[in-house]
Amino acid sequence: MSSSEDHGYRLLTDYANGFMVSQVLFAACELGVFDLLSEAPGPLAVAAVAAGVGASYHAMERLLDACVSLKLLTVETRGGQAFYGNTEMSRVYLSRVSPTSQCSMLLYMARTTYHCWGRLAQAVREGKNQYLQTFGVPAEDLFTAIYRSEGERVQFMQALREVWSVNGRSVLTAFDLSLFPLVCDLGGGAGALARQCLCLYPGCHVTVFDLPEVVRTAKQHFPLPEEEQVGFQEGDFFKDRLPEADLYILARILHDWADGRCSQLLERVYRSCKPGGGILVIESLLDEDRRGPLLTQLYSLNMLVQTEGQERTPSHFHALLSSAGFRDFQFKKTGAIYDAILARK
């Protein structure tokens, strides 16, 4: 093969084997490898890691070595024996004791997202999500499918808490939100973004509006210390009266829904919003030509296999918000995964 053919084949092989990389990460996370190493006084030998998580010695050795090549673990050799430890990335993002741990999101991806993606070709043929075929759960009521058990609901809510532990600050500081003392976080789950909002704008009061079962789970599993400034209200934002607010936050909400449903929700928000108030939309924005970023393109395919929606360009959001009555449209690319859009009534 010529050098260009060789490069092309290697690239193809990397793409084809990409799922194996994901599974190495998922398996090490599920087994508790990073947690065990974070609690240890120093690097551990294979036997200690295998015994600590209840795994096969020989299988664990292969997993640990793959993690080293992926820069998830370090390895040092002493007396002919390998000793493994966490890298800085693993300490920050893969150990459950870290405030920026992403373990629950990774496990949600392993147990739910990964299985839906196994039916991507069928999703493209049909143009709809694959919950029924994958889990036997009807997907007409989207979040009944996503929250198909109490355990799944807790897992997903914890996963979103982890997302905002890393991404919350960048989207909430993209614009000066101190002008909006009364905030409503629609579909705010466990209140993770509300908590970030309070840290950045201590004078605000945030109402988290979400489905009754989500609010009950939030109060039971994710109690917030700032109860006097964060309130929870039960309701369906497509059907029930929305709390009055100066600012409505829709974070990772509109990407779940087709344009018609988005317009329906935005019109309801506009009617509830105080004059001079605003709406903050937090999503991963596609470039205007839709040729990137790659991660956002992949997220849009994820919306196909898991929801009714898609990722969108700034101009697409502008059209949706304008048709609902909002004006003074602004957007900012944060340089992180999620971007911010602000519009006013």
Q: What is the pLDDT of residue 139?
A: 72
Instruction: Look at 57-71, 131-145, 288-302 and tell me which has the smallest mean pLDDT.
Output: 131-145
255 is catalytic: yes
Q: Which position has the higher pLDDT, 152 or 68?
A: 68
* Whether 166 contacts 104, CB under 8 Å: no
Three-state SS for 77?
strand
Residue 291's pLDDT band, with cuts at 50, 70 and 90, is very high
The total of other beta-carbon atoms located within 10 Å of residue 284's CB is 21
Q: What is the pLDDT of residue 32?
A: 98
DSSP assigned state of 287: P
Which range scores top for mean pLDDT: 5-9, 155-159, 249-253? 249-253
| Residues 49-69, mean pLDDT to the nearest whole number | 98
Residue 127's pLDDT band, with cuts at 50, 70 and 90, is very high
Write out the DSSP string of 192-252.
HHHHHHHHH-TT-EEEEEE-HHHHHHHHHH---S-TTTEEEEE--TTTSPPPPEEEEEEES
Q: Does residue 2 have a pLDDT over 70?
A: no
Residue 225's pLDDT band, with cuts at 50, 70 and 90, is confident
Torsional class of 187: left (φ above 0), alpha (ψ -120 to 50), beta (otherwise) = left
DSSP assigned state of 253: -
Residue 137's pLDDT band, with cuts at 50, 70 and 90, is confident
DSSP assigned state of 256: G
Q: Does residue 136 have a pLDDT over 90?
A: no
Interatomic CA distance for residues 252 and 48, integer angstroms: 41
Q: What is the pLDDT of residue 226?
A: 62
Q: How many residues in the chain? A: 345
Interatomic CA distance for residues 11 and 5, integer angstroms: 10
Half-sphere exposure of 136 (CA within 13 A, CB side): 1
Residue 152's pLDDT band, with cuts at 50, 70 and 90, is confident
Instruction: Look at 148-152, 165-169, 235-239, 242-246 and tell me which has the smallest mean pLDDT.
Output: 148-152
Q: Does residue 109 have a pLDDT over 90?
A: yes
How would you label 300-330 residue by residue, b for 16+ Cβ within 10 Å and e otherwise?
bebbbbbbbbbbbbbebbbebbeebebeebe
Residue 223's pLDDT band, with cuts at 50, 70 and 90, is confident
Residue 120's pLDDT band, with cuts at 50, 70 and 90, is very high
Q: What is the pLDDT of residue 143?
A: 76
Distance of alpha carbon 146 from the chain centroid:
13
DSSP assigned state of 141: S
Q: Does residue 294 have a pLDDT over 80?
A: yes
Closest CA to 337 of 298, 285, 302: 285
Residue 193's pLDDT band, with cuts at 50, 70 and 90, is very high
Q: What is the pLDDT of residue 228?
A: 74
* Whether 247 contacts 180, CB under 8 Å: yes
| Residues 312-319, mean pLDDT to the nearest whole number | 98
Question: Catalytic one among 115, 255, 316, 318?
Answer: 255
Q: Does residue 150 have a pLDDT over 90?
A: no
| Residues 282-306, mean pLDDT to the nearest whole number | 97
Domains for the chain: give ranges and CATH numbers. 3-94 (1.10.10.10), 166-344 (3.40.50.150)
